[in-house]
Amino acid sequence: MLARVFSCAVIGLDGVIVEVEVDTGGGNGLPGVVIVGLPDASVQESRERVLSAIKNAGLTYPRKRITVNLAPASVRKEGPAYDLPIALGVLISGDELDPGCLDGSVVLGELSLDGSVRHVRGVLPMVAVARREGYHSVIVPEVDASEAALIPGMEVIPVRNLRDLFLHLKQIKTIAPTPSVDPETLPVQVQTDFREIKGQEHVKRALEVAAAGGHNVLMIGPPGVGKTLLARALPAILPHMTIEEALDVTQIYSVADQLPPDIPLIRNRPFRAPHHTISHAGLVGGGNWPHPGEVSLAHRGVLFLDELPEFGTRVLDVLRQPIEDKLVTISRAQGSLTFPANCQLIAAMNPCPCGYYGDPVRPCTCSNSTVSKYQKRVSGPLMDRIDIHIHVPRVEFEKLSDDRLGEPSTSIQARVEEARARQRERFSSGEKVSYSLCNADMGTGEVRRFCPLDDVSRGLMKTATNQLQLTARSYHRILKLARTIADLSGADSISAIHLAEALQYRPRDAMM
């Protein structure tokens, strides 16, 4: 008897419906299972898991030759999510279940040997594609039910073990569907507040400008002055994520299998801080069949690289495309996959190996050649892609011992939201609608249109271009930064004072 059960695969970040065909051949003897349809090793191992799960659930396993086909055969199948649909297909082909009991349903789940159903990754994109393809019900592991319930219009059946599902499909014991989850009701986690950070007012201002325009930042200073704390506080002043952005981020974490079980939807902007020993594949994504890397996990949020010169040269160089294009394309012999990477790069570094070059209190023990070699570990093209370079000095005792709190993140966030609103209004006006989300995303045509300079500002920019030997990329990035500063002040056009502040954020070495 031929049985058909529908499941789903994940290719990149998108789901693809997979038809699980199970055919029970004639004759008796020891059971044998053949799985075809481009399965990987974990799918091949489902033969043993399905056999043990059915027997330990007290159900009958047909002692016949069984052929399992996963269609379409052109799509690679990986992971244990096909265990449950294969098991149901075996039960249907063995006349244990009615062939029509799964009409309109998609089945996902890994089986334990005792018949319990375990968590699988990528539930959110798989349920989304099931709804898009017209299915009305989805059967998922109980631990993944809240994630699946984020997709409206789908009946989500949470399954704890194979026997409970068998009784549900036989209409002996009903499993109650999981209620739909309203994303607006999910809590937002508390983040590091700017008011707890002592001193560093000029660095806070630079981070406010970065948040308002989506600009990249490099903080340079001795150890222990608060660079990491400042970076961790940045997500708290970024604009609140919309539900669409939250679902976009949650989908990436679901595919990467990094979604916490008690958090079905990520409402906070991501903050990723990989260690400097990370490989380039871990940073931008990779593997035999590519999976998202840290730069994609930081999508819509912050990618923090501490001790920037300690990262490998090749690792840093692969960041150039994501910074410019806001996406990562990974090519393999089987094809190419594209992952989103629209994140803000926040980097921190010491000025020298000992960390105290230029410090007014503690002398540096490094030679000039050592300092120069250390700073050149970060390539010029990458430094040129960072809009804001800010020095972070040590905090004086008077500020550290002061009990007064600084400006809260909510107040700074309100100004950032107003600046972003001005940008959205500007980009959506005119003859052609621009899809830039913030000033840092503007192309050269948009810079020419939205960043005009008056005579005074033009003269200042001409002088700065000659003295600082600015490249074309640096020139446009300064104009974008000045446009953001003008937006924060509520100005309709860029003036000399906005341009002067933007020029102060250029690398100090370039100004010497």
Whether residues 403 and 482 share a domain: the answer is no
Whether residues 17 and 105 share a domain: the answer is yes
Query: Taking the alpha carbons of 186, 191, 195, 196 in that order, is the dihedral positive or negative?
Result: positive
β partners of residue 117 = 111
Mean pLDDT value across the chain = 90
Q: Is 29 among the domain residues? A: yes
Q: Is 430 among the domain residues? A: no
């093209």: which residue's tokens? Answer: 381
Share of the chain above pLDDT 90, in %: 68
Whether residues 256 and 130 share a domain: the answer is no
């410090």: which residue's tokens? Answer: 359
Mean pLDDT of 209-235: 94
Q: Nearest Cα to 244, choosing from 178, 184, 160, 155?
A: 184
Whether residues 212 and 161 share a domain: the answer is no
For residue 510, pLDDT beyond 80:
no
Kind and range of the H or E element at 36?
strand 32-36
pLDDT for position 301: 94
Whether residues 203 and 171 share a domain: the answer is no
SS3 232: helix
pLDDT for position 507: 81
Whether residues 220 and 250 share a domain: the answer is yes
């799918």: which residue's tokens? Answer: 43
pLDDT for position 239: 93
Q: How far apart are CA 236 and CA 190, in angstroms?
A: 8
For residue 511, pLDDT beyond 50:
no
β partners of residue 3 = 22
Q: What is the pLDDT of residues 184-219, one digit of tens each?
A: 877 777 678 898 888 889 999 999 999 999 999 999
Residue 41 domain boundaries:
2-181
pLDDT for position 434: 41
Q: What is the pLDDT of residues 328-356, one digit of tens each?
A: 988 877 778 899 999 999 999 999 999 99
CATH number at residue 480: 1.10.8
Q: What is the pLDDT of residues 276-289, one digit of tens each?
A: 999 988 999 887 77
The residue with greater pLDDT, 357 or 1, is: 357
Q: Is 420 among the domain residues? A: no
Whether residues 105 and 225 share a domain: the answer is no
Whether residues 163 and 202 share a domain: the answer is no
Look at the chain and report how many structural domains it folds into: 3
Q: Is 436 among the domain residues? A: no
pLDDT for position 512: 32
For residue 436, pLDDT beyond 50:
no
Model confidence, pTM: 0.90
Whether residues 248 and 385 share a domain: the answer is yes
Q: How far apart are CA 293 and CA 330, in angstroms?
A: 11
DSSP annotation of 269: P
Three-class DSSP labels, 432-492: CCCCCCCHHHCCHHHHHHHCCCCHHHHHHHHHHHHHHCCCHHHHHHHHHHHHHHHHHHCCC
Q: How far apart are CA 486 and CA 481, in angstroms?
A: 9
Residue 53 near residue 162 (C-beta atoms within 8 A): yes
pLDDT for position 430: 52
For residue 102, pLDDT beyond 90:
yes
DSSP annotation of 361: S
Q: Is 124 among the domain residues? A: yes
CATH number at residue 163: 3.30.230.10
Whether residues 325 and 349 share a domain: the answer is yes
